[in-house]
């Protein structure tokens, strides 16, 4: 009897030891698993700058090129902005910078091919003034050489030395920007069946013409031109008018650009520029 009781006590002790060991191990595993809060993706709204030509983006030599700087601050109040603009000074000459906002004072600094403008909200202005596709300044250039003139707004993420848009929270909210290209060429008149030599081995010719009808406002006018180079021939048709107001006025071929300026009764006026 005593032997049986002793065995029971030993088994009970073993059971209690195993029970506390397993319980302790379970707690250790639970503590070893860190608790992570779910992370939410944060989408930060970004403002923008845009260069908008008020004149045609294709011009002839000596023409004036007018460009507005537009901005949007995604409904945030703006305290100031910086524009750092580089441009091709060999093809464009900056003639004038005009402030378009009464509530802002502007300060400019200019060097060859580079323009820096700082706009500051006047201290007397107390009202909220978010930019909503707002024109900030107007730039007047003159086209002085043929080719493609590039204008680029300098911007780099997290940089404080380039273009920026400062909110009332003293945060730069400006996002990526897009460049602008102005095509500058020579205005030329093409007469039907009279080829024009552009360079050695390359000619352009007006081969078909449907002039505008002064008695028909919905009629389509068109002009087909042919390019010949080294036994290669390419044709393209300019189109204007019609019921839908169709405009097909530009194409490129053989490293040249061709922009329709006007269709006349006996020919066309086009701007030809090197690409």
By C-alpha distance, which of 205, 120, 206 is closest to 166? 120
Using alpha carbons, list the distances in angstroms from residue 115 to 37, 87, 238: 48, 8, 37
Mean pLDDT, the chain, rounded, equals 86
- Phi and psi of 170, rounded to 5°? 60, 35
**Domains and their CATH numbers in the chain:** 48-185 (2.60.40.680), 192-274 (no CATH)
Contact in structure between 137 and 98 (CB atoms under 8 Å): yes
Banded pLDDT at 212 (limits 50, 70, 90): confident
Residue 72 has pLDDT above 50, yes or no: yes
Contact in structure between 76 and 130 (CB atoms under 8 Å): yes
Banded pLDDT at 93 (limits 50, 70, 90): very high
Least confident of 39-53, 68-82, 107-121, 201-215: 39-53
- How far apart CA 261 and CA 212 sit, in angstroms, is 14
pLDDT, position 161: 85
- Phi and psi of 102, rounded to 5°? -70, -30
Contact in structure between 250 and 236 (CB atoms under 8 Å): no
Q: Which residue has the higher pLDDT, 211 or 215?
A: 211
Cα 238 to chain centroid, rounded = 27
Quote the strand ranges of 73-155, DSSP E. Answer: 78-87, 92-99, 104-111, 114-121, 134-143, 147-153
Most confident of 13-27, 157-171, 237-251: 157-171
Using alpha carbons, list the distances in angstroms from residue 126 to 79, 101, 103, 137: 11, 15, 10, 22
pLDDT, position 242: 76
Overall average pLDDT of the 94-116 stretch:
97
pLDDT, position 2: 46
Q: What percent of the chain shows pLDDT beyond 90?
A: 71
pLDDT, position 41: 33
Least confident of 34-38, 48-52, 221-225, 239-243: 34-38
pLDDT, position 205: 97
> Pairing between strand 232-241 and 246-248?
antiparallel
Banded pLDDT at 126 (limits 50, 70, 90): confident
Cβ neighbours of 238 (radius 10 Å): 22
- How far apart CA 56 and CA 156 sit, in angstroms, is 29
Banded pLDDT at 203 (limits 50, 70, 90): very high
Least confident of 12-21, 82-91, 127-136: 12-21
Overall average pLDDT of the 235-250 stretch:
86
* 63-100 burial code (b ≥16 CB/10 A, e <16): bebbbbbbbbbbebebbbbbbbbbbbbebbebeebeee
pLDDT, position 157: 86
pLDDT, position 270: 96
């Amino acid at each position: 009897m005593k032997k049986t009781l002793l065995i029971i006590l030993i088994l009970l002790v073993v059971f209690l030891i195993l029970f506390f060991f397993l319980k302790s191990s379970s707690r250790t595993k639970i503590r070893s698993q860190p608790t992570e809060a779910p992370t939410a993706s944060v989408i930060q709204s970004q403002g923008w700058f845009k260069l908008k030509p008020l004149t045609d983006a294709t011009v002839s030599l000596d023409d004036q090129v007018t460009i507005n700087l537009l901005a949007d601050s995604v409904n945030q109040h703006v305290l100031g902005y910086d524009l750092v603009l580089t441009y091709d000074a060999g093809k464009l000459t900056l003639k004038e910078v005009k402030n378009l906002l009464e509530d802002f004072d502007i300060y400019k600094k200019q060097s060859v091919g580079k323009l820096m403008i700082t706009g500051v909200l006047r201290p007397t202005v107390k009202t909220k003034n978010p930019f909503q596709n707002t024109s900030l300044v107007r730039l007047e250039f003159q086209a002085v050489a043929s080719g493609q003139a590039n204008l680029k707004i300098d911007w780099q993420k997290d940089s404080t030395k380039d273009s920026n848009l400062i909110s009332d929270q003293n945060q730069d909210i400006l996002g990526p920007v897009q460049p602008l290209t102005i095509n500058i060429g020579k205005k030329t008149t093409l007469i039907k069946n009279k080829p024009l030599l552009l360079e050695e081995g390359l000619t352009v010719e007006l081969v078909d013409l449907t002039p505008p009808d002064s008695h028909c406002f919905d009629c389509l006018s068109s002009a087909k031109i042919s390019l010949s180079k080294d036994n290669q021939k390419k044709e393209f048709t300019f189109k204007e008018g019609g019921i839908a107001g169709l405009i097909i006025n530009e194409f490129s071929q053989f490293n040249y650009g061709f922009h329709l300026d006007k269709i006349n009764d006996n020919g066309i006026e086009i701007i030809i520029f090197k690409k």
